């Protein structure tokens, strides 16, 4: 941002952020299965930061990312990556090594958030309700049968280290199991098979340790899959979630516990199934939730009177080194 723009902000009483006038790299794209989502997130965040007066440059993250960051003279990184190498602690470790402050969670919390089998252990240890599940290696997954499961159909099959519902299937009968397992195993991590629990799909946004609110999603498809998440018009959203007051408070508290259990920073989206009796079953914590036009955290923030550019600015101003 130029001197004239900075002077104008001062004249109008605008508080100058610590990254004002410094080069902000919005990291987006990347090499994961969620690349397309990240491209949309990054573009939206970069535009929002520019509206707030920041010198934001988009950096499509490839194998040359370190050289790109040095060449751009970057002072801080706004992480808009999703999936492997961006959400799993990898880029966070690089930024720590380069001494570049960044938004969101640190190396360990990011890695734990992406590792669904391990995070489930931490959730259970923190006292959260976890759906009954079994974990299989990707090399064994194709040979798993109904006899290997201690619960009846329907079940949910998902990769152990992917986001955005990539590779997730609801399997209602034994004949569908092998195909679902093979698809989940194609992502080369462990495969999780969960007992299907009926209830409302509720997502809790937690910002800097405090719940912003809970939103209910009602997809027109079988569940809140990749298409339902990123195709406008395929899902209904209810904010605040249509829950009795006590149940609403309970799921928000569970979101805060999940955020703390992994040691997260910045903003997270915590995914739950809330049963009729109000029990919130934690599914996962998203340490880098989507920030597209259909994404849930911006919807929740807007419901609290926080416009999207203000939300992005708050995340940027919280950027830091964690190691």
For residue range 165-176, what is the model confidence (pLDDT) as tens digits? 567 999 999 999
Query: Is 281 a residue of the active site?
Result: no
Among 28, 30, 34, 115, the active-site one is: 34
The verdict on whether 34 is a catalytic residue reads yes
Q: What is the pLDDT of residues 278-320, one digit of tens each?
A: 999 999 999 999 887 678 999 999 999 999 999 999 999 999 9
- Of the candidates 213, 290, 295, 313, the residue annotated as catalytic is 290
Active site residue 230: yes
Question: In the chain, which segments carry CATH 3.30.1490.20?
Answer: 132-195
The topology (CATH level 3) of 132-195 is: Dna Ligase; domain 1 (3.30.1490)
pLDDT at 3: 44
Q: Residue 232: helix, strand or coil by DSSP?
A: coil
Per the prediction, the chain carries an average pLDDT of 90
Q: Would you call 260 a catalytic residue per the annotation?
A: no
Residue predicted with more confidence, 317 or 32? 317
Q: Is 164 a catalytic residue?
A: yes
| Catalytic residue selected from 161, 164, 165, 270 | 164
pLDDT tens-digit profile of 51-65?
999 999 999 999 999
Q: The tokens of 38 are what?
A: 């990240």
Angle at the Cα of 253 from the Cα atoms of 252 and 259, rounded to 5 degrees:
90
Of 3-12, 126-135, 186-195, 229-238, give the lowest mean pLDDT range: 3-12
**Sheet with 155-159, edge to edge strand ranges:** 133-136, 191-195, 155-159, 169-171
Fold annotation for 113-129+198-287: D-amino Acid Aminotransferase; Chain A, domain 1 (3.30.470)
Rg (CA), the chain: 20
Class of domain 3-103: alpha beta
72 is catalytic: no
**Annotated catalytic residue, options 239, 250, 269, 295:** 269
284 catalytically annotated: yes
Q: Where in the chain is the domain with CATH 3.40.50.20?
A: 3-103
Catalytically annotated residue among 110, 284, 295, 313: 284
Q: Is 213 left (phi over 0), alpha (psi -120 to 50) or beta?
A: left
> Residues 88, 115, 216, 271: which is the catalytic one?
271
Q: Rounded mean pLDDT of 24-46?
A: 94
Query: Does the annotation mark 286 as catalytic?
Result: yes
Check 102, 133, 230, 248 and give the catalytic one: 230
CA 258 to chain centre: 13
């Amino acid at each position: 941002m130029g001197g004239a723009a900075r002077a104008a902000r001062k004249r109008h009483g605008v508080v100058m952020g610590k990254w004002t006038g410094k080069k902000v790299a919005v990291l987006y794209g990347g090499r994961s299965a969620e690349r397309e989502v990240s491209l949309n997130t990054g573009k939206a965040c970069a535009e929002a930061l520019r509206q707030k007066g920041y010198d934001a440059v988009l950096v499509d993250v490839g194998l040359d990312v370190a050289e790109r960051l040095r060449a751009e003279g970057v002072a801080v990184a706004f992480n808009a990556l999703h999936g492997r190498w961006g959400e799993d602690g990898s880029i966070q470790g690089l930024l720590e090594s380069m001494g570049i402050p960044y938004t969101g969670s640190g190396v360990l919390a990011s890695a734990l958030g992406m590792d669904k089998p391990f995070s489930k252990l931490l959730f259970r240890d923190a006292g959260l309700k976890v759906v009954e599940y079994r974990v299989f290696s990707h090399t064994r997954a194709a040979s798993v049968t109904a006899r290997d499961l201690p619960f009846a159909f329907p079940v949910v099959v998902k990769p152990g280290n992917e986001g955005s519902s990539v590779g997730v299937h609801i399997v209602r009968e034994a004949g569908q199991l092998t195909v679902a397992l093979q698809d989940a195993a194609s992502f080369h991590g462990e495969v999780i098979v969960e007992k299907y629990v009926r209830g409302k799909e509720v997502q809790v946004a937690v910002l800097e340790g405090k719940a912003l609110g809970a939103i209910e999603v009602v997809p027109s498809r079988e569940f809140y899959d990749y298409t339902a998440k990123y195709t406008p018009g395929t899902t209904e959203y209810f904010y605040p979630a249509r829950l009795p007051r006590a149940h609403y408070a309970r799921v928000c508290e569970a979101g805060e516990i999940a955020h703390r259990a992994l040691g997260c920073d910045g903003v997270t989206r915590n995914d739950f199934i809330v049963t009729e009796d109000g029990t919130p079953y934690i599914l996962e914590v998203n340490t880098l939730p989507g920030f597209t036009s259909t994404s849930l955290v911006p919807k929740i923030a807007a419901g609290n009177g926080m416009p999207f550019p203000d939300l992005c600015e708050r995340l940027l101003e919280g950027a830091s080194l964690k190691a």
